[in-house]
Amino acid sequence: MEHKKIIIAIDGYSSTGKSTMAKKLARQVGYRYIDSGAMYRAVALYALRHGMADTGGSVDEARLTAALPGIAIDFKVTPDGQRTMLNGEDVENEIRSMTVSQAVSPVAAVAAVRHAMTDLQQQMGREKGIVMDGRDIGTTVFPDAEMKVFVTASAETRARRRFDELKAKNMNAGYDEVLANLRERDHIDETRAESPLRKAADAFMLDNSDMTLDEQDALLLRIFNERTR
């Protein structure tokens, strides 16, 4: 039996493993995966490089807004996985740095940035058959998505995961610095005026603080099968 194609929106807090679970689900069901967080990170990297933002949280909104038409973001699938492209340059590794992590939430809170990224994400999802993860996919980008999941976990659990991830990539950061950065990002994401982070009324709440990856993947696949019957 042919499954109908749907849009899968996975929202939630930083370092809950949203991207990992979204990528895995996309592979399992043969959908395209779109990392909306990488798009905002790419804009933040552009802003940092051009002196429009810093790691202290300040953003030159007027200059960044004016620069947006010249910022092209896309994804390229390679044997090493999906890579984020900024104006044709592979910036996948650079956008995962602690420096970009410290600038991304203030940049992502700029209304013009959110509007530009939302438009781009909606274009990418026109044909359906996509899994997109982020902060406002089920509430703002695709409010009619057929499958919505909101992922959460304790701040300490998330900081430990992020710290281990950075250590594995030989990126310098202390656990306390990572935890403070996560809490700061949570606060900015939840309180920004434009598309704040919140659970959509019809989203499935997934707290993965104490779940194994296999349990989580099996649950997502079960929800997918229910939604596409």
Numbered residues of the known binding site for ATP: 12-20
- Contacts of residue 124, Cβ cutoff 8 Å, sequence gap at least 6: 32, 34, 130, 132
- Cβ-contact 177, 171 below 8 angstroms: no
Q: What are the structure tokens assigned to 111, written together?
A: 């209304």
Q: Which residues of 113-136 are buried (b: 16+ CB within 10 A; e: fewer)?
A: bbebbbebbeebbeeebbbbbbbb
**Which residues are known binding-site members?**
12-20
Q: What is the 8-class DSSP label of residue 96?
A: G
In whole angstroms, what is the distance from residue 136 CA to residue 207 CA? 18
